[in-house]
Structure 1
Amino acid sequence: MLARGLSELQLEEDIDVTGAKPEEGADAPAPAVPEAAPEDDTSKKPKPAPKKSSQPSRHKAGNSKGTRVCAACGQKKPESEFALNQRVDMSCKRFLDNIYKQAKAQGPQALEWFAETKADPAKCKKMIESYGAAYKTWCSTGKQGKVKWSLVQYKETLEAETGVQLSENQQLMWERQAVLFSQSIAGGAYTEEEAQAKWDSLSAKVKEGTVISDLKGPAKKPLRIAITREDMVYNFNKIAKKRSLEFQDKAQKKMDEAGIQKQLKRVMSNHDSVGGSALPQSSEEMAQLMVSGGAGAAFDAANIQVGDVRNLLPEEMDVDAKGEANDEDKEKPAVDDEESGDDDKKRPKWFDKDRAINTAQRFLLAQEKKLKETYDQRVEGLTSHLEHIRGLDAEDRGHYKGEEKIATVRLQFLQALDGKASDLSDLIESFTSTASPTKGVGAGSLGTDDGGSLAAVVALGNAPPCSQFKELQIFEMLFMCKDELLSCETADEIAECKKSFAKLKAPILDLLASAQAVLNDIKKVHKLLKTEKAKAGPATSKPTKQDAAAPKFAIFEDGFKLGSPANAVTEETFKDMSWDEPAIITLANGTIANIFSAQVKLALGQLKKLFKTASQARAEVAMDMSVVQAISKELQSKLDGKGRFYVGNADAIQTSSKDLTTLLHRNLLTTSYAIAASNTTFATEKMCLPSFRFAAEGVRQVVLLPYSKVLEYLASQPDNTSLKFIDAPSKHAVTQWLRFCSVEKLQGLLGAGCKFFTATVNPSEILYVPGGFVFAEQTKDCSFGIKSPLLVHTEATKAFFEKMKAAEGEGVGDQSKFADGFLQATAPRDSKEQHPAAEQAAG
């Protein structure tokens, strides 16, 4: 190892022992005093030569100007600033003395560094400049405290190395990989039976810890074992530079508890994992630990921390044969005697047991009383709010669906705290298991008739009530812990009893906080509903003006009396559904949860935020194709083959032209919809397409009528003989007839042989709208969901779109072209003529 300072050129001028420069060197030593100027220029009298001494004076000036170069800072300074027989000026000497004291206090290594740095002119100059800057700062602040400068040991070394290195390279292999390797030339050319036997032998040693292994292999066989692949010999030459930065502190003797804590903070500062005593003892344990974290994360699992800081204290003093202490501190007997005298004066403090127990009991009693009061308030609040919610009608209760479910579970836990320990343990165990006790039961009991949100119907109430629910204990255990104070004998036992009480109380406080959070949620919903009703108050207070501005539509009140309910379809009867009549489809909770995935909920949540600031009463936003594909995957197998979803693959639509395919693609996209509360709509679906409407939130009343039948009935009236089919005037006439319908008109429509349907759509239900139907829709509250158009082939659908294809008149536009493309896309084809991507379009 070579010290870097020895290989560098010395840029500073060397100083000899006399303090003179080399050019003024030892051959001609400097005079003791500066030469005086001649008094008379005309005098030619020679002056006597100065006397030569055996050793020149080192403290005298080395030139005629009376200045000398400081060996520490390298600056020329007047002779008067130098101390007697010193090579450095007085300020630098003071700096060096202070640094020396710090080095001495920090130990032999610091002294060695100080001597090395002082001997190197360049390093010494930098050290003096650093300390001088700190000294100036100290002076500028009024010399408060001490100079803020610490000793830093800085070493830079250069290493050159040559040698031979043997490397055994191992690879972590799972069973099949290891067997195949053993059969290869590099692995030993074993037979398959021998290779398998070798693996079995190694795997048997895993539990013994004699082989390196992990469990990061394939899912079926995760065990991997380190297998030697090769033994390599490396001949190398190596040169490297090293640099280290160390802070050192001298341990103090006879430290009190405060000193130990102070030392602990310093030792632990800027340390993530320190301490060799916590490392595994054997090389096998070290190797296993290194690979357990994976490449780049060695020893992460070790969690090595520094041990007891008292281990840093010096050992007991050695005593020689004479009985004297062999310690550096024996030079200070006065200080030791003084400290020992202080120790003798200390006496153990008497423990007043009765007063200590009384104080602790009073403290715990206050804590217990406060906890019980809070508990009673939460139980009373949850009970009263739940009774109030259950007394509401179905529509208002639907707004509290999620809060009711969560509050029920948390009230159940609160009541268990005041019961038997076995009941609480069973309750905790039921929520600790993978399947929550409310799953299946809770979802089934939360019907969709009352208009609750889908999230409350499917998922809420299945999670634990608080983070520390596993540590919950009944109140009786808390009271017993308080009574244990009477058996305490020492202050430490009383402190431990208090800690046990706090440990039992913490989970209860956590549960009470979660109960308060639910109460706050219920109050928010109550306040919101109260505000909405207050806003609606002025409008309902003047019924005459309301009737004039917003007439009630008879189509809903009378239509629900005269119309036929939409077909009720379940998941089991899906394939028997009639595609020519409207239907309300009710699916299982699991199927609905898969349809309304996290991605769908996120999209609907974003639509909610946008719709709050929207001015229109209805809005639709295109959904991602992955949503449609997920819905198709969930439901397509349940259909009977007459209807199918469009999953966004335009190439799979078979039409006579690319324009028709593009037109169909644009109108068949699945969208998310939002409809304002108390909104009424009279219209047809876009392009009169058959579609599924998946309801996520809100309740709607819908009356559905076949468009062709209504138009025929209107055309039979004397004033409407000019009506065509799908043109703008005809559509307007049909929707206006619905808007201003009456009982007599509905009865006349029924008498003409037109059957119409009614339905109330609740959350998590699907409304099927057949192709060619017109509808009147009225929302009770803000409604959100998904609309997915379908490709349906039935005789009634085919007949409607054939009429639409031949339609003419004002505003027909692309409707006739779309009808042509729809008929081509839904027309049945032979399997040989089937487009290769048709199955993908069908989902």
Structure 2
Amino acid sequence: MLFDRQGPNGSLRIWVGVKDLLIWRQQYMHEKGVSMQGESKKKATDQDVDKYRSELLSKHGTATSMGFSAVAQALAVNGEAAFTERGGFLLDVLELQPDADVTDSESKADGDKDTAEPSPKKPKLWVDRDRLVSSTIRTVKHQYEQFKQKADEQLIKQKEFLESFERDSDDNVKELFKGELGTLRTRLEGLQVCLQDEEVPVKQFIGKFGLPDSPAPPCEDYDKLQPLRVFLNVVEDYNRCQQPEQLKDVSEKLGTIRAPISQLLAGALRAEKALKASVDKAKKMSEKASQKAMKAKVADPPTATLPLFDQGISHATPILQHKLEDLTRAENPTELDLSRPFIVRVEDWVASALQEKSALRVAVDDFKTQFDLMRAQQKGSRASKALNLDAAAVGFDFGLEVAKMFKRGSVVDKDALAACLQQQIMLSVFGIDATYDKVSSECAGMACVRFNIAGTRCVMITCAVQLVGYMQRKGVEGIITTSRMSGFFRSLGLSAIADYKASCSLETATVGPGDALYLPPGAIVAELCHTCNIGLRWPIIVHGSASASVGLAFQRRHEELEKLKGMTDKESLKASLASEAEVVAAIVDAMSKKHADPPATSGSVDVAQVPLPPALESSESKEPEKIEPPAAEPKESSPGGEARS
């Protein structure tokens, strides 16, 4: 604490410290202007030492110099100043005289001795020269043979690839990949001239590049290209090497010959790879564009992708359409041809089937929810589900309404059918996703009524018996299964559609909400959906008296199943074929029997059926596993030269 008496009126003033003041030394010296300077001393150089060496080493103890006693006396008189002020005892080296004992000749001799150069070393003898040179030549020649062999093989393979590509590609493709082809041709040409034994072609090849309008050079060191045979000429330089270091020089010279050719080999491989990658990329882009175009065409009926739905519509016959009141009136009802498809407009059925809180409405909504999840994962799918509903809770008896469409006696009553066939007569709901454009048929070729609740689709229908006959006339041999018929019908080309229509039935229509489509026995149906379709399905058994040819499809199917059973050894497949054959045989038997006319109310068919799993089942026509006959069967060809989809 500090204090003084310099306060007001001489009062006591106390100084109290509140914080420490830290000042750096450098800052303080800068503020106060303090500068520090050390004592400068001159150090003697080597020249000064050599100059006064003789004086320093001679005349000690003489009268002209100070002895130890004089030095002690000078120290006693001058004290510490003797070290800083030269009090008389230190010699002034600048006043020293040359030593008289050292002559100029001796000094010159000492200088000559110091500057004398050492004598050169004797060169080392290379006693292993012959062995090392011979070993090096063998190694280098072996590497040369391997390098030349690989270069020849690569050149042959790449020339074959280039020739095949140019042979199989048209002018448009060559123009599209002109850059990649030009690069590959240039590098292969450079390889070919380098692997020859002449220097003129190599020089001519090098002269093609370097001009403003010339193509890109084949490699970085193209101007250093030489024929590969020059490599062997340089190898002989190893025999003229006299020191080990000279072997390295020859190896470097060989490396300059091989490096440009190695660049050509690597560049040719890259050029071929780039050409293949460009072609693959162009194909993928083309496929992607075609897929986008296909989706657009499927969504737009006038631009359908398949010729069957394009030109086929103009050649096909429109499917007959009827009104329900014309079929059910008491006097002169419309006569139906049950061997051909037809459509009945029943818009009231949509509202009746979708009554609020009815069992049928709940079942349809549940199916639609599951089907939406299914088609979100798999585009263009199709599925169906059997409905096991209580007749009292249905609210809308779809089977009864379907039975009213047909004349009594034309459809076999369910109670008159065999047990295996009764299980097939049940109500089911189906769904077809947008962009679906495939061919299907009903189980065992039964007749069926498909009623659309929502969505629209285009249908093309033909007869299985007529289709089989047409395929046989076109040279298709072996057992013609339903799957083979479906694929053949779907792949009809532009020229084959008119030819097929000339001898076979081909009928078309656009089915929308409120349309009940009747499919005759043995119908093959191609469908192109514009939107997602939801509908109800009811199978029926048409009596043989309704049409003379209605039973031919079932007879053909039964014969086909019997042949397939005899050609397979798998027990599981035999059981499946036997089960379907039993159903088909029951259909043939039911169609051929005479049945009494049922009463007016007997058309009602109970909706409650045998319980089935609630999961969605694909409604595509399921064909038993194809069994090839013992004899070789010719490969099936598509009509009109069109590729099968």
Flag the structure with higher strand content.
1
Would you say same fold, with TM above 0.5? no
Larger radius of gyration: 2
Q: Give the TM-score of the pair, scaled to structure 1.
A: 0.31
Highest RCO, 1 vs 2 (Cα 8 Å, sep ≥ 6)? 2
